[in-house]
Amino acid sequence: MARDNAQCTAGCLLAIALAAIPGIYFLVATSLDIRGLVNGNGNVVGEDFAQIWLGGRLALEGRIHDVFVPELFKAAARAEFAAAPHVPQIFSYPPTTLLPAAVLALVPYPVALALWSLLQVGLFTTALLLATRGFLATRLALLIAVTAPALALTLPWGQFGAIIAALMTMGVLLLDRRPALAGVLLALMAVKPQFGVLVPVALLAGQHWRAFAAAGLTVAGMGVLSVLAFGIGAWADFLQVTLPAQVAITSDPSSYLPIAHSIRDRLVIAGLDPTAARIVQALLGCLAFAAVAIAFRRGMLPAHRLFVLAAGTVAALPYVAIYDQAVVAIAALAVVAADGRLDRSARAVLLLLWASPVVDLWLTMSGLPQVGPFVGPVAVLMLLAEGRWAGATVSRPIGGVQP
C-alpha cells in the first residue's frame, strides 16, 4: 500500500511539473525579453538580484553610506542601470548580506546573475535530493527539482527564496547526524534574518546544544566580519535609516500587491481592517512559536519538524513575498517522502503546497485569493494533531534504486 501511495505521489509530482511549465515559460519568457539589461517588465534583468549586486558593488567602492540610504541607493541604481525604467529603490538587507553581495559584485552583473542562478538551482536541488532520499530515485528527483514551481519564481525574481529553503531544509534534516554543520547552515539564513526568527526556539526546545552553539558562533562571526569589512556605521545606517524605510514600505501591501503573501497582507487585501489583520498575525506568530517548540521538544520526525518550522516561520512573519513560499514547498515534499502513513487528503494538501508558488501566482494574476498562506498553518495543525513522532514508517523508493 505504501508503495502504491508513493507511486501515485510520484505521478502527481510529474503532473505538477507538467502543469507548471506554462507558468515557468511565462516567467522565463518575460525575463528573457531582454533589451540591454531590461526585461519585459521594464525592470533590470534578474529583478531583485540587481539590488544585491549593486549593494555589493557600492560596498567594494567604499560607498557604504549610499547602500543604506534609500535616496542615495536609488540614485546609484539609476546611474548603474540607466536603460531600465524601473530600478531598485532600496537595499533591504542587513550588512551581513553585503558579505556574499560583495563577492558577487567582483564580476560584471550578467556573470554575477548567472552564478547566482546556478547557486539557487544547485542548493535547491541538493536539498531536494536530501529531502526525498529513499523515496525518489536520483534521476526522478533531479527532474522534479529543476521543474519545481518554487524555482520558477525565485530564478526570474533573482531572490533568496530557493537558497533560504535549501539552507533550512539541509539544516533541519542534518540536525541529528551532523549537528555542527546543521547549525552553520541554519545560521547562514542570517543573510535574510527574519527567516531565522524561530530557529533558536527549535534548537533550544529540541536540546540541540551543539547546533545552537554552532549557529550562534556563525551568526556572531558574520556580524563581526561585516563590521570589520564595512564598519560599525553600516549597522547604524541600517538600523536608523534602512529599517524604518523598509517598515514603511511593508506596512502597505498595495505597494507590493503582486508578491504580498503573508496572512496579514492577504487579509488586508481581502478588506479586513489593518489593525485587526495585525492582531490575527500576532496571534498566528504566538501559535507558530508554540507549534515549533512542541514539534522539536516532542521529537517529531526530521521532515515533520522541518515542515512545522518552515510553515510556522512563514505564518509568523507579517511581511512575506510569494517567492518565500519555496521554504514551505520543499518542506511539504519532504513530509510526503518521509511518511508512508499519510492518507490521500494529507498528501493532497502537501502536494498543493509544493505547487503553491506558481498556483498562487496564477491566482494573483487572476485577481483571486492565494491559498498557500492559509493552507500552510492548517497543515501544521494537521501534523501536530496526528502526532507524527519518531518511529513513523518511511516510504520505499520510487523510480529505481537509490544509489
Decide: helix, strand or coil at residue 346: helix
Give the phi and the psi of residue 339 in degrees, each rounded to 5. Answer: -115, 105
Grid cell 530557529 is found at 199
CB 186 within 8 A of CB 154: no
Contacts of 262 (CB under 8 A, 6+ apart): 281, 314, 317, 318, 319, 320, 373
Q: How many CB atoms within 10 Å of residue 123?
A: 18
Contacts of 312 (CB under 8 A, 6+ apart): 198, 288, 289, 291, 292, 377, 380
Decide: helix, strand or coil at residue 174: coil
- The identity of residue 341, as a single letter, is R
pLDDT tens per residue, range 45-83: 888 899 999 999 999 999 999 999 999 999 999 999 988
Q: How many CB atoms within 10 Å of residue 253?
A: 21
Dig out the grid coordinates for 195 from the structure. 527567516
Q: Tell me how far apart the alpha carbons of residues 164 and 144 are, in angstroms, rounded to a whole number.
A: 19
Q: What is the pLDDT of residue 343?
A: 83
Q: What is the pTM of this model?
A: 0.89
Give every residue of the chain whose pLDDT is below 70, as ranges. 1-12, 14-36, 40, 388-403
Dig out the grid coordinates for 213 from the structure. 552553539
Q: What is the pLDDT of residue 327?
A: 94
Q: What is the pLDDT of residue 332?
A: 94
| Dihedral Cα 32, 34, 36, 39, nearest 10 deg | -90
Question: In Å, how far from its chain's centre is CA 256?
Answer: 17
Q: What is the pLDDT of residue 83?
A: 82
Q: What is the pLDDT of residue 392?
A: 44
Decide: helix, strand or coil at residue 398: strand
Contacts of 147 (CB under 8 A, 6+ apart): 17, 20, 21, 24
Evaluated on CA atoms 232, 234, 237, 240, the torsion sign reads: negative
CA angle 238, 244, 245 (to 5 degrees): 90
Q: What is the pLDDT of residue 401?
A: 40
CB 96 within 8 A of CB 220: no
